[in-house]
Amino acid sequence: MKINWNYPTSVWLGENRVKDLAHACEILNILKPLFVTDKDLFNLPMVKKIISEIENKFKEINTFSNFSGNPVGKNVEEGVIEFNKFKCDGVIAFGGGSGLDVGKAIAFMSNQSRPIWDFEDIGDYWKRADDSNIAPIIAVPTTAGTGSETGRASAIINEKTLEKKIIFHPKFLPSIVILDPVLTVDLSPRLTAATGMDAFAHNLEAYCARGYHPMADGIALEGMSLIKKSLIKAFKDGKDLQARTDMLAAASMGSTAFQKGLGAIHSLSHPVNAKFNLHHGLSNAIFMPYVLTFNKDEIKDKIERACDYLNIDKNFNSFLNWVIELRKTLNIPNKLSDVIDVDKIDLDELSKMALKDPSTSGNPKKLSLQDIKKLYEFSIEGKTFE
């Protein structure tokens, strides 16, 4: 057996650690940072204050925020233009998944001659990149879900094909991550729930994915444990800083663990995120019980071992019921048809997109086109596999 394992980067965790942003830039020798965040966050007083404080430490800081959730290739292209126009030498990627993914992609693409789609997470496509001058990245998440701060990829939609593509290179990994729970206290209960279930999906699918990676499995188990302990607390009381800290840690752990692989939850999610602009964490939460029951024969033993660690009755159905109850407590819809107009769903198109998704290969049970179509049908009807 020959397997390569990689583990992430320097993480600075604690209340008000965002005040160390300028110091992080100094350590990485970033003199002209590009501050990248989405347009909604950019207009918040909290973000204005952070940018103002950084401006006091640098002769020049530029910002880019012309994008929102589920970013597209054009957003990255425009950011690269800004980066090169002002001769920036590093990126501060700030925000939820979109801010982190766009910021990382801008830093990566700032010195590439090929289009971003040439670096999709397929085989060794990443080796096509010129990695001699990829700008350093500081990642500051404001949600506890995506885990993009410890990931080596960005999820970007190709607006021509309406496909969500995973763009990969080892140097997408930020050099310094700042996990500050204070930045997440104003996250709404709705987004706390959706992003928290995103983190849970990452840990769960990494734990269940094919392959031998006991370190990833261990991290995923503890990530799920932190979520079980703290997600409902953060949902009910956004100012619970310990719960917010646990969720930030669990999100980073999920992304660290899923280098082992993901599965059908993500395969099914990516097409509906691209086609219907549905929040990724929300779609992951919706698909979760349908994929769990589909994979039952392959993951039953692992789930029972997880039950021991999570203090859940040691059987698959107890775990499944706990997941379903967690979704109910968080007001997560039960069916895809609760959030998308069924008449607008082309199951054949979605199924083909999902089958091609890079996450498909990691699913514990091999997936056919018909399997994926049935998973979509069951998620629309609210019917789980027996």
CATH code: domain 10-183 is 3.40.50.1970
Could you tell me the pLDDT band of residue 3, with boundaries at 50, 70 and 90?
low
Label each residue of 210-245 as H, E or C: CCCCHHHHHHHHHHHHHHHHHHHHHHHCCCCHHHHH
**DSSP β-bridge partners for residue 92:** 35, 138
Query: In this predicted model, what pLDDT tens digit does every residue of 190-222 receive, in sequence order?
Result: 999 999 999 999 999 999 999 999 999 999 999
SS3 149: helix
User: What does the domain layout of the chain look like in residue ranges?
Assistant: 10-183, 187-381
- Name the average pLDDT for the chain: 95
Q: Which is nearest to 70 in space by CA: 133, 162, 143?
A: 162
Question: Interior CA angle at 165 toward 159 and 168, to 5°?
Answer: 135
State residue 58's pLDDT score: 85
- Asked if 167 and 156 count as a contact pair (C-beta separation under 8 A), the reply is yes
Residue 131 has pLDDT above 90, yes or no: no
Mean pLDDT of 282-309: 97
| Domain 187-381 -> CATH class | mainly alpha
Helices then strands, each counted (H, E), the chain: 14, 8
State residue 375's pLDDT score: 97
Query: In this predicted model, what pLDDT tens digit does every residue of 238-253 receive, in sequence order?
Result: 999 999 999 999 999 9
What percent of the chain clears pLDDT 90, i.e. is strictly above it?
90
pTM of the model: 0.93
